[in-house]
Amino acid sequence: MPNDTITFALEGTLTDKDLAESFRRFSELITALTREAGAGASISWTLSALEYGSAQATFKGEVVDHPEQIESVERVARAYVEVGNALQVDRPIPYSESVQRLARRIRQMLDGHIHTARFENVEGEAIVSPQSSTHLGEELISRAYGAAEGRVQTLSTRGTLRFILYDLMHDRAISCYLQEGREEIMRDAWGRLAIVEGLITRDATSGRPLTIRQVSRITRLPEPVGSWRDAMGASPWHLGRMLPEEAIRRLRDAD
Amino acid sequence: MPTNPPRVYWDADVLLSLINGYPERVPIIVAALTEAEKDNPPYELITSTLSIAEVAYAEEERTGRALSEEAEARIARLWHPRSSPIKLIEVYRLITEEAARLIRTLAVPNGWRLTPRDAIHLASAKLLEATEFQTYDEKLDKFAEGLGLDIVRPHVLQPVLVAPIDPEGVDESSGAEGSGNVPA
């Protein structure tokens, strides 16, 4: 799967001015990184997905007039997350003074209202908080195989293997990345409620899923017939029988 | 961005009380579910995916037989986002780590028993910053202070009237019972 998209996401309460300013700073950083890591290629970064309910935008890179030349785009996408990782743990940013300054300007946007910024590409992500995770003494991201439930959505049809799962619990977009050759598991999933399995990255504080990579399975939820009311009395209690809490307690105490 | 309503966590025994149609509890549980399915609900009801397995298993233990397909299908409507306002939280690594921490720091030093399943439910509520953990199991009450979480019986301002479920009218051998006596 080509590493040709970058996602910038902010968490917190944003005003219109915050949004405009943060994306301006993001854009300046990408311009500088394209110049340095893109080896002189003229790369155009086009908006490929914008998630409502989150300040999250994804851009797909293409070398102007030579879309087949993916290497320069991939170098910039990797450099972008590398910069995020350096900010995350307060490591020196391995690029020019100009890139370092622009990257720090993004961190300066993070205050009480905007909690974190996420730098994401197809391969990985970094979460930047006002203080580095070294200072916080804790990991900001947790990774494990698992599943998340939500609605499969995306605004991107630009040939990427990325899609969005709209998380029902947290009401936020989760970036999901299919592996190349696994496109068939997406069949009939668009717009449907589904459980997506894969390697899940979560915000280590809230537990909210951020990304799902190596998506291994997408199980569509069946269309429901009826309502929760049908469950009432589905297996009635009889006088003299074990109380519900006794039945559950017996099960748990048998552990 | 809109603010989410407060979260109320339901332990598996609350859901089992509904499935059993337990007479004194159903009016409260139904009222809570009815509130939660409104367009602007006053709270969100959440439970762990663990509850799905627990209510099925506990019910089979209680009755001594497997649930019928029909009863299982009716119960499944509690877990589907289109047919129920109950939101499910997966059991994931951060929750199991928090559960382990609760056992280590809260249960063991006090000489209290906290099984992994209990700990997973409590850790789920804590991680999701639930305002209340509702359960009928009084044995969990003692963990409230250490968790910083209210552990209470399900409650509503106004219970709804629900016609009693008649277990006598049920063919117990089928495992598919009751009409549900659905309130309007």
Asked whether residue A22 carries a pLDDT value surpassing 60, the answer given is yes
Asked whether residue B111 carries a pLDDT value surpassing 50, the answer given is yes
Q: What is the pLDDT of residue B169?
A: 46
Report the C-alpha gap between A177 and B102 in whole angstroms. Answer: 34
Mean per-residue pLDDT for B69-84?
92
Q: What are phi and psi of A206, to 5 degrees?
A: -95, -15
Pairwise CB contact (< 8 Å): A227 & B84: yes
Q: What is the pLDDT of residue B171?
A: 44
Pairwise CB contact (< 8 Å): B26 & A242: no
In terms of Cα–Cα distance, which of A92, A109, A4, A108 is closest to A46?
A4
Report the C-alpha gap between B26 and B18 in whole angstroms. Answer: 6
Pick the residue with more confidence: A226 or B168?
A226
pLDDT band at B34 (very low <50, low <70, confident <90, very high): very high
Mean per-residue pLDDT for A21-32?
96
Q: What is the pLDDT of residue A135?
A: 64
Q: pLDDT digit string (tens) for A174-213?
A: 999 988 778 788 878 888 999 999 999 998 888 899 999 9
Mean per-residue pLDDT for B94-110?
95
Asked whether residue B2 carries a pLDDT value surpassing 80, the answer given is no
Shortest CA distance from B1: residue in chain A: A53
List the beta bridge partners of residue B10: B134
Asked whether residue A82 carries a pLDDT value surpassing 90, the answer given is yes
Average of per-residue pLDDT values in chain B: 87
Mean per-residue pLDDT for A68-90?
93
Q: What is the pLDDT of residue A138?
A: 65
Mean per-residue pLDDT for A212-217?
91
Pairwise CB contact (< 8 Å): B59 & A243: no
Shortest CA distance from A146: residue in chain B: B92
CA distances (Å), origin B87, targets A154, A170, B32, B104: 22, 10, 14, 28
How far is C-alpha A18 from the geometric centre of its chain's CA atoms? 20
Asked whether residue B114 carries a pLDDT value surpassing 80, the answer given is yes
- Burial of A23: CB neighbours in 10 Å, binned 0-12, 13-18, 19+: middle
**Contacts of residue B74, Cβ cutoff 8 Å, sequence gap at least 6:** A226, A230, A231, A234, B180
DSSP per-residue codes, B27-89: HHHHHHHHHHTSSS-SSEEEEETHHHHHHHHHHHHHHTSPPPHHHHHHHHTTT-TTT--EEEE
Other beta carbons within 10 Å of A110: 20
Please give the structure tokens belonging to residue A63.
């070398």
pLDDT band at A21 (very low <50, low <70, confident <90, very high): very high
Asked whether residue A216 carries a pLDDT value surpassing 80, the answer given is yes
Portion of chain A with pLDDT greater than 70, in percent: 93
Asked whether residue B183 carries a pLDDT value surpassing 50, the answer given is no
Mean per-residue pLDDT for B66-85?
91
Shortest CA distance from B168: residue in chain A: A238
Pairwise CB contact (< 8 Å): A232 & B181: yes
Q: What is the pLDDT of residue B166?
A: 65
pTM of the model: 0.81
3-state secondary structure B103-143: HHHHHHHHCCCCCHHHHHHHHHHHHCCCCEEECCCHHHHHH
List the beta bridge partners of residue A190: none
DSSP A207: -
List the single residue in A53, A193, A236 with the smallest CB-CB distance to B81. A193
In terms of Cα–Cα distance, which of A103, A113, A128 is closest to A203?
A128
Shortest CA distance from B21: residue in chain A: A233
ipTM of the complex: 0.86
Report the C-alpha gap between B22 and A235 in whole angstroms. Answer: 10
Pairwise CB contact (< 8 Å): A247 & B59: yes
pLDDT band at B37 (very low <50, low <70, confident <90, very high): very high
SS3 A23: helix
Q: Which residues of A touch B87 (CB under 8 A)?
A: 168-169
Q: What is the pLDDT of residue B92?
A: 92
Portion of chain B with pLDDT greater than 90, in percent: 72
Our separate counts of H helices and E strands in chain A read 5, 10
Pairwise CB contact (< 8 Å): A146 & B16: no
Q: What is the pLDDT of residue A86?
A: 94
Report the C-alpha gap between A123 and A219 in whole angstroms. Answer: 23
Range name among A50-59, A146-155, A157-166, A242-251 with the lowest pLDDT average: A157-166
Rounded to the nearest angstrom, the minimum Cα separation between B95 and chain A is: 8
List the single residue in B26, B166, B175 with the smallest CB-CB distance to A232. B26
Please give the structure tokens belonging to residue A43.
């790369």
Among B11, B92, B124, the residue to mutate for chain A (most A Cβ within 10 A): B92
CA distances (Å), origin B179, targets A68, A225, A229, B124: 63, 15, 10, 33
Asked whether residue B179 carries a pLDDT value surpassing 50, the answer given is no
Asked whether residue A5 carries a pLDDT value surpassing 80, the answer given is yes
Asked whether residue B12 carries a pLDDT value surpassing 90, the answer given is yes
List the single residue in A168, A238, A245 with the smallest CB-CB distance to B136. A245
Mean per-residue pLDDT for A7-33?
93
Q: pLDDT digit string (tens) for A99-152?
A: 999 999 999 999 878 889 999 999 999 999 887 666 665 677 888 999 999 999
Tracing tokens 């589904």 back to the chain, one arrives at A194
Report the C-alpha gap between A6 and A226 in whole angstroms. Answer: 42
